[in-house]
Amino acid sequence: MKVPLYEKIWMWASGVLVVAFVVTIVVGLAGSALQPPSHVETIDPTKVWNDPRFKQRGATPTAAGTTVVMIAMMFAYQPAEVRVTAGKPVTFRLTSSDVTHGFSIVGTNGNTMVVPGYISQFTTVFRTPGEYLIVCNEYCGLSHHLMFAKLIVEEGRAQP
């Protein structure tokens, strides 16, 4: 029986799709896709308040920009307000002292899960000065909806 070329193309195309799906599943499993960012760095969730990496909380200027260290807990962030500079890289380092929380900076691309036992880290740049709301977007208990913090992005000095 002679298979028309048109049929052959579709047979090959569907074969490629099946392989692509299998590869996606295998890569997802092998890469532990459900880990938070920077999941190589672990922490004892019962000792976060005394951990040297979380002693100095809030915004700390660095050579490149700012590092912001925060602890998420039911039902707040500590500190509840941070100030950073517009146009400069901001690296967030977050962990939880209890359950899984979210960390979503509304209106920006800043968003991560905060999973107990891990330090979540990401770097972003805020171009537009202003006040941004940080909300928890992972259900974490009865007062989940009250869990928020404030990010203040201040005008940077004139770039050389």
Kindly write down the DSSP assignment for every residue of 96-149, as one continuous string: ESSS-EEEEETTSS-EEEE-TTB-EEEEEE--S-EEEEEE--S--STTGGG-EE
Q: Minimum distance between the CB of residue 76 and ligand CUA, rounded to whole angstroms?
A: 8
Which position among 42, 106, 139, 154 is part of the footprint of ligand CUA (CB under 6 A)?
A: 139
Q: Applying CB under 6 A, what is the total number of residues that bind ligand CUA?
A: 9
Q: Please tell me the distance from the alpha carbon of residue 134 to that of residue 114, in angstroms, as a whole number.
A: 13
State the DSSP code for 79.
S
- Judged by CB under 6 A, the residue of 140, 149, 151, 153 near ligand CUA is 140
Q: Is 138 in the site for ligand CUA (CB under 6 A)?
A: yes
CB 123 within 8 A of CB 105: no
Our CB check for ligand CUA shows the closer of 40 and 142 to be 142
Element (DSSP H or E) covering residue 86:
none
41 or 138, CB closer to ligand CUA? 138
> Rule CB under 6 A: which residues touch ligand CUA?
75, 101-102, 136, 138-140, 144, 147
